[in-house]
Structure 1
């Protein structure tokens, strides 16, 4: 009988002890909300002159040519451009001239990238024609 009394007393003490924490269960299980980071915006404009096309890039991302290839810094980076599915062109200014294009239809893909070349997942495609 004495053993049963001691066992019941220990169980009651254990139950009471678990309720004496400084934090509620909800506080312990809820992770901190992650900071919501917006992607930079991107807009393109083109001017055609003869067989040349100048692409103007408007973005709220800081184009940081001095940090290309360095550590990621949110809000800055550089531009990757692809003309007619060709090789990547790393653009470090808000305008780029494509020269000596052949007459016909062309397309340019422009995407925004962090300093370390990881994408912001922001891209636009621009179709145009050289006459």
Structure 2
């Protein structure tokens, strides 16, 4: 396999995350304690082409596929004014295809895997993700681009990934505040949502969530900002317990126990206010059988 210019993008920064401590108690409980990650997911399986054993930048690759020469990824992490971190990816030569996860590989398509301190947290089905549960201290966040069958994309023996080292300080209790989000805002005419959830064939306890909307646009880079009618993000609940935010139409939800589980999705404004039409929340609920 030929060598190619290294695409590993490393940025070292000390983030002043005073905003992390600004989370109200309710939000911290909802978006930290109840988040579900897929630490036990085995993404090394599946039908993969170009399988190889290699090491790049200290990260093990179980299987890999040669990436197009123009494929790259960069990583931007910023503190969220309510809780956690907002992660944004910028890619070239790559297309997110969550609808084809676990299917045959197509060059230049797939999803991303997110790691914190070398531990896999979840899959990313789009360029933005809200990460909670990162304790104060020094951490390394890494994202890697992967094929539909979860193989690592490489150029030569170099992973197509991006790494960011950051320091999360201790919370500053004096800066705590209550965020907006309790009062509903009127939805524009025609706003609607439906949700489809199916078990993931590659991850025990994992499901793939697809959110279809009308009259609504996901705006992850405007989260916590001013209200703009018709834009925002979604909140996802399992058995009535809030799991977190969703910044796009696809979401991987891991760590569920077997049995029938109720999944609910609500559309919210940039300021976390639920959208309502004629006094009723704009939301959708489905029951999924988790194997």
Is 1:48 the equivalent of 2:202? Answer: no
Structure 1 or 2: more strand by fraction: 2
Larger radius of gyration between Structure 1 and Structure 2? 1
Task: Name the CA distance, whole Å, in 1 between partners of 2:205 and 2:243.
Answer: 21
Give the superposition deviation at 1:51. 2.1
Give the superposition deviation at 1:88. 4.2
**C-alpha contact 1:39 1:120 (8 A) present in aligned 2:** no
**C-alpha contact 1:78 1:113 (8 A) present in aligned 2:** yes
Unmatched 5+ residue regions in structure 2? 1-186, 277-281
Match of 2:268 in 1: 113
Structure 1 residues 51 and 111: alpha-carbon distance in aligned structure 2, compared to 1, 3 A threshold: same
The CA RMSD over aligned residues, in Å, is 1.7
**C-alpha contact 2:206 2:254 (8 A) present in aligned 1:** yes
Structure 1 residues 64 and 114: alpha-carbon distance in aligned structure 2, compared to 1, 3 A threshold: same
Structure 1 runs (4+) deviating above 3 angstroms are: none
Match of 2:259 in 1: 104
Match of 2:230 in 1: 75
Aligned residues: 96
TM-score using structure 2 length: 0.31
The superposition leaves residues 30-80 of structure 1 with CA deviations (integer Å, 9 ceiling, x where unpaired) of xxxxxx941511111122124211110011311000001111001111001
TM-score using structure 1 length: 0.67
Unmatched 5+ residue regions in structure 1? 1-35
Give the superposition deviation at 1:85. 1.8
Task: Name the CA distance, whole Å, in 2 between partners of 1:88 and 1:98.
Answer: 9
**SS of equivalent to 1:66:** helix
Structure 1 or 2: more helix by fraction: 1
